[in-house]
Amino acid sequence: MSLVLLKNLVFRGKQSGKERYGGKYSRLCDDDLESASVSSSSDLCSFEDEDTSKEKIPAERSIKTLIPTPRISPRVISDATIGLSDGLTVPFALTAGLSTLGSTHIVIYGGLAELSAGAISMGLGGYLASRGEADAHAATLNSTKSLIRDSPSSTADLIHTTFDGLDLPSELLHSLSAHLATTSEEKQLDFLMRFHHSASSSPTPVSRAYISALTIAAGYFIGGFTPLLPYLLVPSQKVVLAFWCSVALMIVALFAFGAVKTVLVGGAESREVRRWVSGGAEMVVLGGVAAGAAMGFVRAFGGE
């Protein structure tokens, strides 16, 4: 009964094929019936039968077709963004500040020390954050399972509360709540986790914390090693040349990172030239401000 009411609500006043496709196709069909051959008119007006056959495609299959699965996990992109953004900013600021001391050896040793410690620290932070999220998800999952198993009446009230936000008619709301309350525990768990807790009904994989830690640490190390390259290739006496080479390299790296991050995270609208140029310029400005602040502190304390 509830499914029938839901169908009537969603598909209320369902139009025929010609009405849904507008007057253009209606006029074509009428003209065909008057002036064209029977075969051509049947071809033009056969979209109703074709549309009916398309409606038989399972909803799950059509949704999977319309919504492509991303090649890279959004969580991996997020972790890589965190690691690279910090790695491209903090070590660059440190090396720029140490370059005022006049020796590439100091810049290299200090930069490598900070880079190693920073990568380990960032990786541990990502691991602990992922473990905390996994523990919180497991606690929510277990409490929901216990509620469904031990208190059916409270589960029915929770289902009803979840439907309240959809602004459904009262008759349909009670019918859907009652129907879902009589389904299996697995379906109730999946519904409550998805729509009430906005989470997955599956346990969090154990490997997620390790993948997150490695991704953040690797991103930090790769991003932080970039400003050190000129100091490794330039003689120790030419620290000024190494500094300006590092600045030029980091401008390109920061701009490229900001543009790529904007395209990957921002969706289709971010593919506009203005959007990714703005994202790249923003990263360059942030990195420049951090490097300038570090150089200013070193020179200020060094002058004393």
7-21 average pLDDT score: 42
- Range in 16-30, 124-138, 149-163 with the lowest mean pLDDT: 16-30
Q: Is 74 left (phi over 0), alpha (psi -120 to 50) or beta?
A: alpha
Percent over 70 (pLDDT), the chain: 73
Whether pTM exceeds 0.85: no
- Mean pLDDT calculated for residue range 233-237: 82
pLDDT at 75: 81
**Residue with more model confidence, 297 or 209:** 209
pLDDT at 302: 60
Lowest average pLDDT, out of 31-35, 140-144, 165-169, 213-217, goes to: 31-35
Q: How many CB atoms lie within 10 A of CB 161?
A: 11
Distance CA 215, CA 213 (A): 6
Tens of pLDDT, residues 248-282: 998 999 899 888 888 777 655 656 778 888 888 88
